[in-house]
Amino acid sequence: MKLFQIYDGFSIEKLQNRISKSLVILSFIVSYFANTYIVKAQPSCEIKNRQIKPGETLVYEVFYHWGLIWMNAGLSTFEMKRDKLGGKDCFHIIGEGATYKNYDVFYRVRDRFDSWIDTVSFKPYRYIRNTYEGGTKVYNDTYFNYKKNEATCFKIDKKVKVEKDTVKILPCTFDVLTMIYYARTIDYSHCMKGEKIPITLYLDGEIHDSLFIRYLGKEKIKTALGEKQCILFSPLLIKGTIFSGGEGMKVWVTDDDKKIPLLIKTPIVIGEVQVKIKTIKD
């Protein structure tokens, strides 16, 4: 029998690999999607943002949990600041995720996502994915053109080969980072328990128009920052190598105007991954 074997065909090494692959996915809540995507969370994209301001920084720790086993595997941060793009004022959102050095021996992750967004509508102007995961590098630079309803992505391989891909987009178009901040502006106060908020997703050249977020009500949870009243919801996941699909992931956000994500839990092949808030600076 192979050393550290859990059961036939599944070893600790494979488990660690799958856990590590999920670090960036979960630390960015929905960033298991490999490219930019389209979200239609409500008929209009108009938002009322009164609380999310430049200067906010959110820090999360990522844990693997299985029975009595707790493994602290990585760290993620979100930051918003003021910037300019093409001479126009905008917000610049930066999301970073990395495994701890003592975990790099299993699977090294060093990821960065950047979005430049409109200060009022939160629509993205530009989105960059610059990731390193287990030896695989990805660099995608996407520009959004709302007059033509197009998103143009430049995929750069080792900074030499450039592939250009243009797709049609819907009026409500968001990238990975922008969607997180946009979702924080949605008014959930009129939602009934069990109600679905539909989303339309572009992923790897395909449109997924039957996805949704299900509102599950409110509850109090204990966090590193104390006990907090939260809104609880569950997004419908696309079946993949790590996730089994369905509504297994649960997300807790603060029940206030900021709607800061505090806790995320999702089952994987064995055990679950948890993303927990560490610090908030605003």
Q: Give the Cβ contact number of residue 34 at 10 Å.
A: 14
Query: How high is the pLDDT of residue 126?
Result: 93
Comparing CA positions, the residue from 18, 44, 12 lying closest to residue 187 is: 44
Cα→Cα distances 197→50, 184, 222, 272, Å = 22, 13, 26, 25
Query: How high is the pLDDT of residue 228?
Result: 96
Token reading at 262:
């505090």
Query: How high is the pLDDT of residue 268?
Result: 72
Query: How high is the pLDDT of residue 5?
Result: 35
CA gap 177, 37 in Å, rounded: 10
Token reading at 226:
């104390």
Please say whether the beta carbons of 80 and 55 come within 8 A: yes
Token reading at 243:
């996730």
Rounded (5°) CA angle 120-35-133:
120
Query: How high is the pLDDT of residue 122?
Result: 85
Exposed (0-12), middle (13-18) or buried (19+): which is 120, by Cβ within 10 Å?
exposed
Tens digits of pLDDT across the chain (282 residues): 333 333 344 444 444 544 444 444 443 343 333 333 444 444 456 666 667 889 999 999 988 877 888 888 899 999 999 999 999 999 999 999 998 888 888 778 899 999 999 998 888 899 898 988 888 888 888 898 889 988 888 888 766 678 888 888 777 777 767 777 877 887 888 888 988 877 665 554 445 566 677 889 999 999 999 999 999 988 765 554 334 444 467 889 999 989 999 998 887 767 788 899 999 998
With b for 16 or more beta-carbon neighbours within 10 A and e for fewer, the 222-259 pattern comes to ebeeeebebbbbbbbbeeeebbeeeebbbbbbbbeebb
Please say whether the beta carbons of 266 and 26 come within 8 A: yes
CA gap 208, 239 in Å, rounded: 12
70-117 residue pLDDT tens: 888 899 999 999 999 999 999 999 999 998 888 888 778 899 999 999
231: β partners = 218, 253
